[in-house]
Structures are given as structure tokens and as C-alpha cells.
Amino acid sequence: MRKSKVSLLLCLFTVLLLTFMSAGKVSADSPNVNRIFGIDRYETNLSVVKNGWSEAENVVIANGENYPDALCAAPLAKAKNAPIILSSKDQLSNPVLDELIKLKTKNVYIIGGTGVISTHIEEQLKSLEINCTRFAGQDRFETSVKVAEQLNSENGIAVASGENFPDALSIAPIAAKLGMPILLSSRTSLSQSAKNYLQDKNVPVSYIIGGVGVLNANVKASLKNPKRLSGMDRYETNIRILREFEDSLDLNSAFIASANDFPDALSGSVLASNYSSSIILVDKPLLQVTSDYLKEQNYKTVNILGGIGAVNSLTENSIKSVIKYTPITKVDNISDVAFINEEYHFPTTALATYEDSSTKLVPVKWSSNYVDTSKPSSYTFEGTVSGYPQKITMTLKVEEENGSINGNGGNIIYYKGSIYFSSSKNRNAVYRIKSGSSEAEIISNESIADINIVNNYIYYRNMNDQSKIYRMDLDGSNKTKIVDEPTENIVVIGDWIYYSYYSQSDSGMCKVKTDGSNKVKLSDDYSYDMDIVDGYIYYISEKDGLSIYKMKIDGSERTKLDSNSSNYVSVAGDWIYFTAIDGTYSGLGPMENIHLYKMKTDGTGKVKITEDDIRGITLYNDWIYYGNYSDGGKLYKIRTDGSDKTKMTDIKASVVTITGDWIFYVFPDYNSAYFIMKLDGSSNQRFIIPNIPEKESNNSLLTAQFLDIPQGLGDAISLDGNLEYNDVDYFKFTPWTNYYLNVAFSSPSLGSNATISITDSDGNELYSTKTKYDGTASFRIHLNSSIYFLKVSSPNGSLLESDAYNLQTWYDYGY
């Protein structure tokens, strides 16, 4: 059994490559669309209140005509479980007074000074025997601080413009859900009251909402751990925010409001947060950036805030046409392992299957987010997924360390927060990527195979020394030979190394202590593939026509389970999963029809799972991933019961390992370069490629930085750069022969504010494209052997501060 590890977070700063992805959902229904409205902003506001609260001990009151003070109200209202009621400056209307009585309100929190909510309103409230608390400062900025003082900043803060409303409205429901204060700022500087408030705060992240034209670099410099969320306009900024927090949102419903006025969105911000939903800002007509985002969603319910004067019928119809709802039919249960005293992180997503058989990782909420890892035990947690009526379960085993969490015996392993891998690009040298880093460091230049990590040692077959078994420290030091004979396959479990060996004079399977002592021969068989589970070794016998056997780890009870010629075996629970040739091996190799089977661990109940011709299988959480040679070797997945077969790539690929939410795989036709993608097929990325920094000054053809793009098929380089104020970056490259150049660009902070161009040696533009609202762009262009320049620029360079980008590029011959 290959262990899973679903809780890790990989820090891999790579670029989205859509070229190799398969299609998603293909058919669905329109969502339920509700409109919450009244004849004006005040009636709409009361309609929102009626939809969300039958009783409310606490209520927040803000001005419905003057937005600045009201913008920071949503997090306070959420903390008090209070609706926001809008009022004119001078008095509460009779409908509002009636609603307060129906709500049985005892406490009202007024946002702003008497210039926006008069003392007469306080008198009206007191006549109803309602307690009043006012949060007000000398101006809108100080008022936001007064409100912030009622909250905590453990999840961060949001800083938005106090001089316009759309950006604050975009973050309001999310800030409310996460309990983040919203501080208002002028364009050029954070107020002194805000600086004083933040001075002794340990703020993990300060979200700057909007671009430098809204909140400039001086504001950013005043904040702790700043992170800017912005787009070219209010609509792009809105979508940028939604993507940033999508794992915190309930993706079953959404709220829609006009971006051109504040009352409706403000009214609905707390209601949206109660559903863990977002507010999507729209214009008339629906803009492309918003439409593209909505197409990706699976909302069952859409709530429009305001009447047709705010969100007209044309926009409503556009929303109905682009959003397609498909019910979830299954969400996978999860099995995981934690070591003793490990700080365990619960997985944030689970894999959902939809009615049309498509899959997607969706947020999951667990019944508890705490587990005691101080002693061996087994735990079961229940989880809920929005839009799925059943509970899912996670089974977590806490155990003594007896091997790496994932990947033992392979080429990529996750161990204690770091990734270890061997690369054929450098003769199978070993690399390490430490937790929190994207840089791969070489820890050993030896050519190795079968990496195993146990108790802070790396065990491996040293191909530079006749495939003998060695071990080394995690940093590559202290190399020690453990087994002084050629080996074929090793698996390390606890204190024992299990291995197979073969020579013309002898063969067998052995075990030996990890220090090289107590060697025991278990069998005369030898095997290139074995799995060790619950005290048994399951293996494929090379001496018996690739039949499947099992025996105890002491060599006893050797039993033949299946006679068909097999080439892979994996055990999970009571089942053995394996590939086998129908009939007897004829020596045809790749021309054989190799099918996928399962049988009980006692050899009974053999079932063919699929008729596909298969090479290489990886078992992970009730799914089997395999190369489908009935379809050109493309990567597929199928459930262990044979259902929900899904194509994952559109070209030939094979899985190396699966860790957490990530599939590590290779494209054989791309020089076996490593790629990764999510379990649902999204976020298709190169794993690790040579990384180089941009070198200034490269702002002209004469000073262009030379890019030595590898000429090997599929080889690539990754470049990290920055676009500064009014900056242009040039990179020179020279393909040796006729190639297709591939370019993938990513910069969330730049959003749609970047242009990537190809020019000839004289600077004449041959191709140009703008980034999308998410900051990505990719293209492929045929080039003859000559001198070319790649140019990165911005049409709005005067609005930039220092925006980081990543650019990846490689050649291919066409496909």
C-alpha cells in the first residue's frame, strides 16, 4: 500500500499551462435565481433583513446615502450576528421601526458620527428601549479604526479606499466571514489613527484592496505583511479577491450586486457572509471578466440584490445563461496517516464527482480540526461539503514513523515538509525542495533509483555502484553502503530493508536491518515490483512467468495468488490491484494487451476493472491512475469499482506519484519532464525547471538579457522578473533550427496589466498578447533559426509599483 498524505501544502511557484488539460463539465442546468429587492435602497435593505433574520438581538445602523462610514460595518455586524439596516441621516422610517420591533432588537450599533446618523435617531431607538452604541471618529478613516478595535486581526486585515466604495464592497462579506477588520485609507497614506491601531498588532497578512491608483506604494509601505489584491478595474479586482479566498467560500451559492452604487451590496454583505458566499459585482451588460468567472462556477442558487434599476433583466439573463449547475453525486472519503507528535494539518478540499462524471476539488468543513498525535491511535472525522447532502469521512491513523508519508520506492517523495526527487535531466541526481521554498538544491550527484526515506535517512540503489544499497542523511551527507551486492528493487519499512537481487548464478528476495546487519533470505524468487502491507509481501515473481505471490515478511506462507503475467501490484484494504496480460506472456512487450484487475488478498474474487490497454498504475484514495494505451498512452483515472473513467491529459503521460492534492507525472514525449496537476485535473504545471532571475537593466534591445532556452524537446527555463514603474523588459534568444516557441506567463499582481510580445532583431513586432484578468497568458509561435526578442511590458506602466512575474519558455517540434 502506498501511503497517502493529503494535508501538506506545496510551495511550488510555477505557471498554469492549459495546453495539456482535459475538458470539464459538459452539460448542466441553469441555477435558481432569486431577486431580493424593493422600490428603493431602503426597501431592498429591509428585504435583505427579512430574508436573513427573523430575530436579531443586535442590529448595525449605517447611513444609506453616504457610503464612507458604512463600508467598514460588515465585519462588526457579522461578529454581533446583526443585520445592517440603512437609514437616512435624520430619522428612522416607520418600516424600520416596525422591523426593529419584529426583530426584538435590544442593542443597536451606529456607524459614524452625528453628521451621518443624527442624535434624533438615537432618541427614536431609546424610545423603543434599545441600547445604543456609536462608533465614530473625526473622519471616515478614524471611524473604521473605532470599528476595527471591536474585532481581532488573527486572520489579517483588509485595507480599502475610503474615497470610493467598490473595492471595500468586494472584500466585505469575506472580511465579515473571517472576522477581518476593514480599515479605510486615502490614496496616498494610511491615517495616523490606523498606524497607531496596527502598531502593537501581530497581523499575519494585510490585504490591500485595489491597485496603486487607489492605494499607492506609501500605503503598502505602512502595513505589516502586505499583499495587494487588484485588477485593472473594480470588476477585475472583485474577481481577484474571489479567487484569493475561494477555499473559504461556499461555492453552492452567490450574491450579485451592482458595482455602480453601494447600498445593495452593503445590505447583502452580512447575509452573504452567513452563507459563506461572495458578492459578485456586475455592470450593464455583464463584462467578460465576470462572465468567464461565472462559467467556472457551479452555483445552485444566485441571489440578485436590488431591482432591475440596479441589475437589469439583460444582465440577469446573461447570468442565467453562463452559470450551469450540475449536482454533486459523490464526494470521496479520505484516508490519511500522521506520525507521532506531527503537527497535523487537516485537508481543506475533497474530490467531488458530478452528475456528468466530471470531478473537482471542493472545500470541506470537518467536525473538528484538532487531533492528538502524541500516541498511536486511529480517528474518524466527519466532513460536510456544500451542495452534497451526505457526510464524508476522513480516517486518520497516528503511528510511529516507519517510512516516508508518500512515494517510498519511487522517484519523488514527500517527507516532513520537503520534497525529494531524482531527475533524469541530471543522470538521476537527487534534489530537495525545502518547505516554504521553490528552489531545488542538489543533495547528491550519484545516479540513484528507488528512493526510500525512513527515520531521517535516505535509502537508495546506487546505480554508480552496480545498484547496491546505500543510505545518506537528508542533506546528502554521510553516504554509507548497506548492502554490498547488486539489487533490483528495495522497500524500506521501519528497521528493515526488503530487496530483490538477480545474477546468472543466484537470485532471491532478502531482508536486512537498516544498518546492514541480520541479513535473511526470504525466497529464491526475485521481483521488480513488491508491496508490503500488514505483515505480508505481495510481489510479482520473475521466476514464475510474472505470477503474483504473497508471503509473510519472515518468508513463510508463500502462496501463489494469480498465474497471469503481471507487471504491477498494489494493495489497499482487502484488495490487490494489478495489471496482467490476458493469457500467457508472449514476449511482445508493448504490443501486449495489458488489463487492470483486482482480487481479494487471498487470491479470490478476481475482477477485470477495465478493458483499456494499460501501462503503469498508481492507486490513491479509491482511484486508479494509469496510462491508457488504448488511447495513445494518455493519462486516465478510474474508480476502484470500475466507474467514472476520466481522461486527465490529451497527450501521452504517466504518473510518478501522488501527494496531497497533487499528481506528479511525466510526459515521455517531452523528454520525461516532470509536471504536476491537481486531482481534479486543474492547475496543470511544470514541476521544477531551471530558474533564473531577471537582470536589470534590460529595458532596450541593446541591453536585453540573453535567455539560453534549452534546445531539447520539452526542456524549459523559468524566469522570475519584476515590472517596475514605467518599466520594459527585453530578453534575447536564438533558436538553432525551426522550432515552435512556447511561452507561459503569470503575475497575479499585474492581472490584465501586462503585454508579452515577440519581435525580430530590429524590434519589429511578430506577435503580441495581453494577460487575462488573472495575470496569465500563454502562446505558441513557429520561429525560424534567427535572433529574436521577448518583450514584457505594460500599457499602464505609470500605475505599476514593483510587480513580480514568472515566465516559462521552451521549444517543441510541433504536435
Lowest mean pLDDT among 205-219, 564-578, 623-637, 798-812: 798-812
List pLDDT tens digits, range 616-654. Answer: 899 988 899 999 999 999 999 999 999 999 999 988 888
Q: In what order do the strands lie in the sheet with 392-399?
A: 334-339, 392-399, 377-384, 365-366
Residue in 413, 417, 448, 416 with CA at minimum distance from that of residue 430? 448
Q: For the chain, what are the domain ranges? A: 38-309, 412-686, 691-812
Residue in 83, 26, 35 with CA at minimum distance from that of residue 58? 83
Task: Give the separation between CA 358 and CA 345, rounded to whole angstroms.
Answer: 27
Domain at 691-812, CATH from 2.40.10.10, 2.60.120.380, 3.40.50.300, 1.10.730.10: 2.60.120.380
Residues 402-431: what's their mean pLDDT? 75
Task: Give the separation between CA 118 and CA 114, rounded to whole angstroms.
Answer: 4
**How many residues are listed for the chain in this entry?**
815
Task: Give the separation between CA 501 and CA 685, rounded to whole angstroms.
Answer: 37
Task: Give the separation between CA 463 and CA 362, rounded to whole angstroms.
Answer: 42
Q: How far is CA 565 from the centre of its chain?
A: 39
SS3 648: strand
**pLDDT band with cut points at 50, 70 and 90 for residue 10:** very low
Please report the pLDDT score of residue 592 as a whole number. Answer: 60
> What's the Cα-to-Cα distance from 690 to each of 225, 456, 771, rounded to whole Å?
28, 27, 23
Percent of the chain scored above 90 by pLDDT?
65
* Range among 423-432, 545-554, 671-680, 728-737 with highest mean pLDDT value: 545-554
* Range among 313-317, 402-406, 415-419, 722-726 with highest mean pLDDT value: 313-317
List pLDDT tens digits, range 296-312. Answer: 899 999 999 999 999 99
List pLDDT tens digits, range 225-267. Answer: 999 998 888 999 999 999 999 888 888 899 999 999 999 999 9
Please report the pLDDT score of residue 583 as a whole number. Answer: 52
Q: Looking at residue 103, what DSSP letter applies?
A: H
List pLDDT tens digits, range 178-204. Answer: 999 999 999 999 999 999 999 999 999
Domain at 412-686, CATH from 3.50.50.60, 2.120.10.30, 3.40.50.1820, 2.30.29.30: 2.120.10.30
Q: In what order do the strands lie in the sheet with 507-513?
A: 489-493, 496-502, 507-513, 520-523
Mean pLDDT of the chain: 89
Q: How many Cα atoms within 13 Å fall on the side-chain side of residue 467? A: 12
Lowest mean pLDDT among 110-119, 452-461, 707-716: 707-716
Q: How far is CA 205 from the centre of its chain?
A: 19
DSSP assignment string, 529-569: -EEEETTEEEEEETTTTTEEEEEETTS-S-EEEE-S-EEEE
Residues 44-70: what's their mean pLDDT? 94
The neighbouring-strand residues paired with 576 are: 571, 599
**pLDDT band with cut points at 50, 70 and 90 for residue 28:** low
List pLDDT tens digits, range 256-278. Answer: 999 999 999 999 999 999 999 99
SS3 739: strand
Identical topology for domains 412-686 and 691-812: no
Residue type, 228: R
CA angle 160, 162, 165 (to 5 degrees): 75
* Range among 504-508, 562-566, 632-636 with highest mean pLDDT value: 632-636
Q: Among the residues of 593-724, which ranges form H helices?
A: none
Q: CA dihedral in degrees (139, 143, 146, 150; nearest 10)?
A: -170
Q: Which residues contact 504 (CB under 8 A, 6 or more apart)?
A: none
Task: Give the separation between CA 60 and CA 58, rounded to whole angstroms.
Answer: 7
Task: Give the separation between CA 607 and CA 612, rounded to whole angstroms.
Answer: 14
